[in-house]
């Protein structure tokens, strides 16, 4: 059985949704309840996934491990479709996620004032441009990966909530909002939210 270390609302939520989509049993452990979490993940970040005496870290790597290990419809089998799905996963994890991380950093590290406001606005504008790329992609299909939701869509649905933490405006287009709402309405996503609340 897996043990997933999480922080409420963080990207670890996506890992929990994937585990539920795969029908895999797991224990949910709040990072805040661990005395010295760096012993589990020296970086101090979530997610971390313990399995068979080892600890896996880095969200995209964990997702690919799970999808390779368990039968699923979230990662296509054909080479071209599979490559495109991984590309979308990396866009979410390695492009959009760090853009939000910059906002979190600026918000916590810069003193209040004009410089902070300008930096925050610039970072938010970059995020808006990334969401516009998603919006353009959704002009021809309901999900980033096509007709079926994928792990990239799950990640995007988690990240979309993070704008509420900041005073700057982040614009998410109407098609993207529809996609996000569909993913967030999935039984696996709703169950994950409840589980986080109960484990907090």
Q: What is the mean pLDDT of the chain?
A: 95
> What's the confidence (pLDDT) of residue 25?
96
Q: Which residues pair with 28 in a beta bridge?
A: 4
Across 124-144, average pLDDT: 97
Query: Is 96 buried (19+), middle (13-18) or exposed (0-12) by CB count in 10 A?
Result: buried
Report the pLDDT averaged over residues 147-162.
96
Percent of the chain scoring above 90 in pLDDT: 92
The whole-number average pLDDT for the span 160-188 is: 96
- pTM over 0.85, yes/no: yes
Write the pLDDT tens digit of every residue in 62-75.
999 999 999 998 98
- pLDDT grade for 120, boundaries at 50, 70 and 90: very high
Please name each of the domains of the chain with its CATH number.
2-73+187-199 (3.40.30.10), 79-184 (1.20.1050.10)
Pairing mode of beta strands 26-30, 54-57: unpaired
For the cut 80, the answer to whether the pLDDT of residue 29 exceeds it is yes
pLDDT at residue 200 greater than cutoff 80: no
The answer, yes or no, to whether residue 121 has pLDDT greater than 80, is: yes
| Look-up of token digits 């609340």 | 197
Q: CA distances (Å), 165 to each of 65, 103, 124, 190, in order?
A: 31, 9, 12, 21
Distance, first Cα to last Cα, the chain: 21
Q: Give me the pLDDT at residue 54, please.
A: 95
Average pLDDT over residues 32-48: 95
Q: Residue 124: how many CA atoms within 13 Å on its side-chain side?
A: 18
State the pLDDT at residue 76. Answer: 87
């Amino acid at each position: 059985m897996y043990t997933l270390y999480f922080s409420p609302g963080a990207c670890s939520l996506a890992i929990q949704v994937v585990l539920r989509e795969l029908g895999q049993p797991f224990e949910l452990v709040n990072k805040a309840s661990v005395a010295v979490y760096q012993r589990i993940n020296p970086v101090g970040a979530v997610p971390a996934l313990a399995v068979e005496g080892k600890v896996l870290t880095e969200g995209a790597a964990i997702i690919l491990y799970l999808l390779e290990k368990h039968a699923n419809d979230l990662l296509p089998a054909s080479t071209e479709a599979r490559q495109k799905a991984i590309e979308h996963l990396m866009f979410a994890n390695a492009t959009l996620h760090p853009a939000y991380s910059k906002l979190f950093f600026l918000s916590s590290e810069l003193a209040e004032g004009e410089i902070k406001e300008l930096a925050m606005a610039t970072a938010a504008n970059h995020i808006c441009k990334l969401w516009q790329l998603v919006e353009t992609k959704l002009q021809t299909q309901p999900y980033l990966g096509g007709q079926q939701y994928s792990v990239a869509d799950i990640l995007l649905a988690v990240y979309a909530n993070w704008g509420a933490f900041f005073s700057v405006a982040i614009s998410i287009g109407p098609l993207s909002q529809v996609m996000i709402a569909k993913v967030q309405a999935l039984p696996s996503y709703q169950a994950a939210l409840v589980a986080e609340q109960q484990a907090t």
